[in-house]
Chain A
Amino acid sequence: MIPAAFEYARAGSVQEAASLLQKHGEDAKVLAGGHSLIPLMRLRLAQPSALIDINGLKELDYIHVEGGRLRLGALTRHVTIQHSAEVRQNLPLLADIASEVGDNQVRNMGTIGGVFAHADSAGDYPTLALMLDAEVVTDRRRIPAREFFQDLFTTPLEADELVCEVSFPVAPGSHRYIKFRRRLFDWAIVGAGAQQVDGGWRVGLTNCGPTPVRCTAVERALSEGASVADAAERAADGLSPSGDLRASPEYKKHLATVLVRRAVEQAQTG
């Protein structure tokens, strides 16, 4: 289908992007990789009045490691994250997750900043961000991941605020992310991540609620010496996923316990 008409402007700098967003009002949207936004526009589920194209902002396309943080510019594309030696070395789980986003064509366009700004509950990076207490850096503030994902597609971003960076703590320990889906390029029906940090475990779930979920009950049980199988049973604690075409809430809760167990077990065995 053909998207509804909109105004289009290219931003030459972060500042210009913010002023263009201001000028075009709250129905304007940022165009980064466009691989969530354009499909929604084609179905006319999104009808922004204007698109501010930030693809020319090369200063937002970077991967830096410094002071124990892995910092990724908002315009860093999945394909770059997937193949980055810095990411492999400092946060290998992020590279694993990047390699499973969509397909080659999607990874060549889609950006990490776009995933955060869009805040789809089926997005994979947000789960890791929540597990590791990552920060979203905008053109005016730093927002911890636990405050960033407020609800389905809902973040504290102002209408004229631009995501500039996502900053993760370096975490090279044992890790695993399992994306359960029927076809390779699909979104996760349920995703589960496990990452060892300072001798403990961080565990999270994707697509089990309106926002990513951190499994603190599982983390606590593991730290208290429970077996992985027993700890993983706690993954469904307090979980209230909505059903969708692919899975009922009950099935998602079942998947959560099974996938968390597998993720921790497979992280342990490498």
Chain B
Amino acid sequence: MKHRIAVTVNGKEREAEVEPRLLLVHFLRDNLGLTGTHIGCDTSQCGACTIHLDGKAVKSCTLFAVQAQGHELKTIEGLAAPDGELHPIQQAFWDEHGLQCGYCTPGFIMAAAYLLDQNPSPSEDDIKKGLEGNLCRCTGYVNIIKAVQTASRTMSGAAQAQPAASGA
């Protein structure tokens, strides 16, 4: 039996009828066409499918779409500004060349976004621990760590540059 779900994906309300066994990652990719979320393994290890569920990083291959009912999802497509300006983490991965083939990159960026949300100024060890759920098989970890450090600096600089109104 199919179930009707209503979810918010990257700020947009989406509704669908889904089979219970449909994995969230397949819902995003096949039903919504959001193919930026990748599938890299069959064992919940690689993290390529990382998205945010109510602001928390999760592996979308290890949830069923029916579980997303009523929740808010963010995928890599929801990170850049509407005018196409890259999110500081995306820009930092670009600038530091935090990728080789790029397959794992959306997952790393979503995991890094969660990490920096929890801890805006992580140490190198914090970054390694924070990204332990993501695998890069091109062995590009050094530049990935650099990219997160760069993003952390850009984002804390941007936060300081903002007028104090929001913090008052």
Given A104-B115, A105-B111, A108-B58, residue A3 in contact with residue B67 (CB < 8 A): no
Tell which of A10, A43, A106 touches B59, judged by Cβ atoms closer than 8 Å. A106
Interface of B is mostly: mixed
Tell which of A5, A103, A105, A109 touches B21, judged by Cβ atoms closer than 8 Å. A5
| B66 proximal to A (CB < 8 A) | yes
Are A6 and B20 touching (Cβ within 8 A)? yes
| A245 proximal to B (CB < 8 A) | no
Are B62 and A35 touching (Cβ within 8 A)? yes
Given A2-B21, A6-B20, A109-B58, residue A104 in contact with residue B133 (CB < 8 A): yes
B54 to chain A, nearest CB (A): 10
A99 to chain B, nearest CB (A): 9
Contact residues in A for B3 (Cβ distance below 8 Å):
8
| A224 proximal to B (CB < 8 A) | no
Are B66 and A53 touching (Cβ within 8 A)? yes
| B114 proximal to A (CB < 8 A) | yes
Q: Which residue of B lies closest to A39 (CB)?
A: B44
Are B20 and A106 touching (Cβ within 8 A)? no
**Interface residue range, chain B:** 20 to 34
Number of interface residues of A (CB under 8 A): 30
Given A6-B20, A108-B58, residue A38 in contact with residue B64 (CB < 8 A): yes
Contact residues in B for A38 (Cβ distance below 8 Å):
23, 44, 62-64
| B132 proximal to A (CB < 8 A) | yes
| B56 proximal to A (CB < 8 A) | yes
Q: Which residues of A contact B (CB under 8 A)?
A: 1-8, 10, 31, 34-35, 38-39, 41-43, 51, 53, 55, 79, 102-106, 108-109, 184-185
Q: Which residues of B contact A (CB under 8 A)?
A: 1, 3, 19-21, 23, 26, 42-45, 47, 50, 53, 56-59, 61-64, 66-67, 69, 111, 114-115, 128-130, 132-134
